[in-house]
Structure 1
Amino acid sequence: MLIIAGWLRVSPQGRDAYVAECVPIVEAAHRADGCLDFAITADSVRPDRVNVYERWESDELLHRFRDSGPEGAQQDRILAAEVHKYRISGVEAP
């Protein structure tokens, strides 16, 4: 299992519009084979931060979906980013 998690920084004035524009991406991910969870959300404290969380069954299924990543104008609005892929070897109750 893979987890993709991190944050994007966008202008505070444009953050909510950015998140709203990501709704079709989130909907597409939820329909994609191998997607266990996918969220792009506004941070509740930092007005310029967008949180990213994804959970996938495998690299193959992640990459199949990833080939449709952010395009031009949407990508250009990202001022900074820190998003990483984590490989999970086991799952247990908290």
Structure 2
Amino acid sequence: MLIVAGTGYVDPAHRDALLEGLAPALRRTRTAPGCLDYVVAADPIESGRVNIFERWESEADLNAHLSGNAQTAPSMAHVRSVEVVRYDISGSSPLPS
């Protein structure tokens, strides 16, 4: 399993429009083969920050998504910066309650 996580910074006045513009791509990606989770969401504390979280079954699934995504990506004109990191996960277990 792979996890992709990160943050993006955008002009706070344009954050809602960015998220609205991303919604169709998020919906499509969630139905892609191997996509377990995919979200870009407004940070509740910093008005110009978005949080990015993805889970993929395999590297091949993530690569297929990345290779086809460039043609459908919305405008990122108001994005100031993005930092995203990929994590290779060898196992997982539920947290104790």
TM-score w.r.t. the length of structure 2 is 0.89
Classify the secondary structure of the residue corresponding to 1:86.
strand
How far apart, in 1, do the equivalents of 2:56 and 2:23 lie?
18
Segments of 4+ moved more than 3 angstroms: none
Tell whether 2:15 aligns with 1:22: no
Provide the residue aligned with 2:31 in structure 1. Answer: 31
Provide the residue aligned with 1:57 in structure 2. Answer: 57
Amino acid in the other structure paired with 1:35: C
Classify the secondary structure of the residue corresponding to 2:79.
coil
In structure 2, the gaps of 5 or more residues are: none
In structure 1, the gaps of 5 or more residues are: none
How far apart, in 2, do the equivalents of 1:76 and 1:85 lie?
24
How far apart, in 2, do the equivalents of 1:63 and 1:78 lie?
23
State the Cα RMSD in Å: 1.4
Alpha-carbon contact 2:2-2:59 (below 8 Å) kept: yes
Amino acid in the other structure paired with 1:21: G
How far apart, in 2, do the equivalents of 1:25 and 1:57 lie?
19
Provide the residue aligned with 1:80 in structure 2. Answer: 81
Matched length = 93
